[in-house]
Every structure is written in structure tokens, then in C-alpha cells.
Amino acid sequence: MSTRLLMNGTILSLIVSAGWSVPGAIAQGPEGASLVPCTAPLSWRIARIDREFGFTVPEAVQAVQRAVDLWEDVSGRELFRLDESDGFPIRFIFDERQERTQERVRRQEEIAHERSGLIVRDSEISSQLERLREEQLQHSEQTREYEEQVKVHNAEVRRWNQRGGAPSGVERELGMAAEALQTKLRQLESQKRAQEEEMLIVQEGAQRLNRDFREHERRVEAIARDFPPVAVESGVYREAVHRGAAGVISVSREVRVYRFEDTEELQLVLAHELGHALGLPHGPNPSAVMNSSHGEGSVDTRTVHSHDVDLLAKTCPNLVMSRR
């Protein structure tokens, strides 16, 4: 099994698994399928987990069991059995393949976190701009009201001046009105300066945000550049069949897992290799577990595809006789 690593997701390319050399033995059949197909139940065990994967034996057992369940749900019978003493080994072997996968995932998570922060900042700036525009509209309306009040006041002053002057009581009222208008003018001017200063700050923040977005896109491009699509083996099923004059003497089986991005991809890798252990070759449907390549999200890991079921029924009709 190989995987082409992409910046925005994963494409699994499931290639022919190579057997290993054992004196007096022959490797498995075409496309990585077992030469002793349809044997069930097959016993398995977790034999190795390199610590760099960062998960425990119980977690690995759970992952394998989920992959087993995919096949057993459609078979209606026990196909695999956990046997910690005598099961065929499943080994999680850490090397540069998983190291690069983890590095890519780490950088993608950093990018995703960074983008979330940029989106929050963008939302905050948009809210600030919307509030400031609303405040500016209110200020403009208040300014118009002030100007109307000034016109009314000045007209009143002119009217009394034309009469030769206002009585002392009216003059005091006009003076108080003038002071109130002056106070209102100072408030409007202060509000305008504050709005202009805040608008300048928000606009500067928007410019910084745009620069940060451009830098963010450069980092996204760097990930795509540093992790181009390349074929990387994710897992492999291997077996050696010992034959004698009377036929098969024994079968040595092994599943190796080299890389996976998350639990769903791990389940796919394991289900694919377990399918080989049952004797299944690759299938043609791109949404099937046994297909030779898988695009991001193209495989529903909650169940095997109907093409997988048909492939199992065709290859091992004895394993689906009690099919639900």
C-alpha cells in the first residue's frame, strides 16, 4: 500500500505487496493477495509498535478490530481472531514515511490554527468597520440636527436684533442656548476626531491582516512545495507459503503498517491489508477498500463498498454463505 501525500488531503495508492524470501517457500499471489485464500478465522496479534507513532497496544488493537468489523459485518461470520500468543504479527514500523506524514500534519495543523486566527481577526475588523460606519452615519445625522438648531438660534437672534434687542430674560435664554450649541459642537468635533483615529487604527489593522493573509498563503504554498505528491508505501501484507509433496505445510503471514494520517486512514490501510490476507486482489472501483488508489474522502470507512462485498463473494464464496 502506498500513499501520495498532498497538502490538502491524502490519496491512497495501494500497490502490489511483495513477499519475503524464505527457503522452500513462495510469495503471495497477484496484487498482494494470499496464495492460500479464504482461510478463516485468521489469528492476529500486535507484535510491534514503534513509540514514534504515539499510540498504545490497546489503541492499535481497537484500530485492527474496527478494520476486522468491516469485513465481518458483510460476511456474517468470524474472519479474524485476536490471539496474542500465536496470531500472525501486525507491526507498526516507523521510518521516514511516517515522519514526513507527521511533519506534514503538524504543519497543516499549524496552518489551520493560524487561518482560524486570521478569520477571527477578519471578523473582528469587519465588525469594527460596520460599527464605525454606523457611528459615522449617526454623527452625520447629529451634525445635521445641530446645524438646523444653529439656524433656528441665529434666526431668533436676528429677529430680536431687528427689534432693537431682546429683553434681559430672553437674552439670558439666548446666551444659554448659544453655550449649549457650543458645547454640542465641541462634542461633535471630539466624536469625529475619535472616530477618525479609531478608523485609522482599524484600517492599519486591516492592512496588517492583509499582509498576514499573504504570508499565510506563502506558507500554504511552502507546504505544497515541501510535500509534493509522491508515492509512499503505507502498509503491506506479506506471506510465505511452505509447500511439500502433500501440499501446503504452513503459511507465514505478516502485516506491516508504515504510515497513516489519522484513525480513518489507519482503518483503511488495515482493512486493505486484511483483505489481501483473505485472498482478495485489488478491485476496480475507486470507492472500494480494495481499490489500488483512493482519493480524499472517496472511501466510506464505516463499511466496505458493495464492490468489496462482490469481490469477497467471488473470491471466497464460502466466507459469505451466511451473509447478512
pLDDT tens string for the chain (324 positions)?
Answer: 544 444 333 434 343 333 343 344 444 455 688 999 999 999 999 999 999 999 999 999 999 999 999 999 999 999 999 999 999 999 999 999 999 999 999 999 999 999 999 999 999 999 999 999 999 999 999 999 999 999 999 999 999 999 988 898 988 999 999 999 999 999 999 999 999 999 999 999 999 999 999 999 999 999 999 998 777 788 999 999 888 777 788 899 999 999 998 999 999 999 999 999 999 998 888 889 998 766 555 566 778 899 999 999 999 999 986 544
CA separation for the pair 55, 250 (Å, rounded) = 32
For residue 139, is it within any domain? yes
Q: Residue 205's domain spans which residues?
A: 113-226
Same-domain status, 98 and 119:
no
Using a cut of 0.85, tell me whether the model's pTM lies above it.
no
185, 149 contact by CB (below 8 A): no
Strand partners, 11: 4
C-alpha cell at 256: 506491516
Q: Are residues 157 and 173 in the same domain?
A: yes
Among 112, 136, 96, 56, smallest CA distance to 230 is for 96
Instruction: Say if residue 93 is in the same domain as residue 237.
Output: yes
| Residue 107 placed within a domain | no
Q: Provide CB contacts within 8 A for 50, sequence distance 6+.
A: 92, 93, 94
Residues 73 and 128 placed together within one structural domain of the fold: no
Same domain, 95 and 122: no
- Is the separation of the CB atoms in 80 and 72 below 8 Å? yes
Q: Tell me, what's the pLDDT at 30?
A: 58
* DSSP assignment of 276-287: HHHT---BS-TT
Considering the domain architecture, whether residues 213 and 281 belong to the same structural domain is answered as no
CB-count exposure of residue 272 (10 Å: 0-12, 13-18, 19+): buried
Cell of 65: 478490530
For residues 92 and 235, membership in a common domain is answered with yes
User: What CATH number does residue 56 fall under?
Assistant: 3.40.390.10
- Final residue in a domain of this structure, among 169, 202, 226: 226
Residue whose C-alpha cell reads 505445510 in the numeric block? 249
Same domain, 48 and 73: yes
Residues 59 and 39 in one domain: yes
Tell which of 191, 211, 226 closes a domain: 226
Residue 157 domain flag: yes
The number of distinct structural domains making up the chain is 2
**What are the backbone dihedrals phi and psi of residue 173, each rounded to the nearest 5 degrees, phi first?**
-60, -40
Contact at 8 Å (CB) between 277 and 290? Answer: no
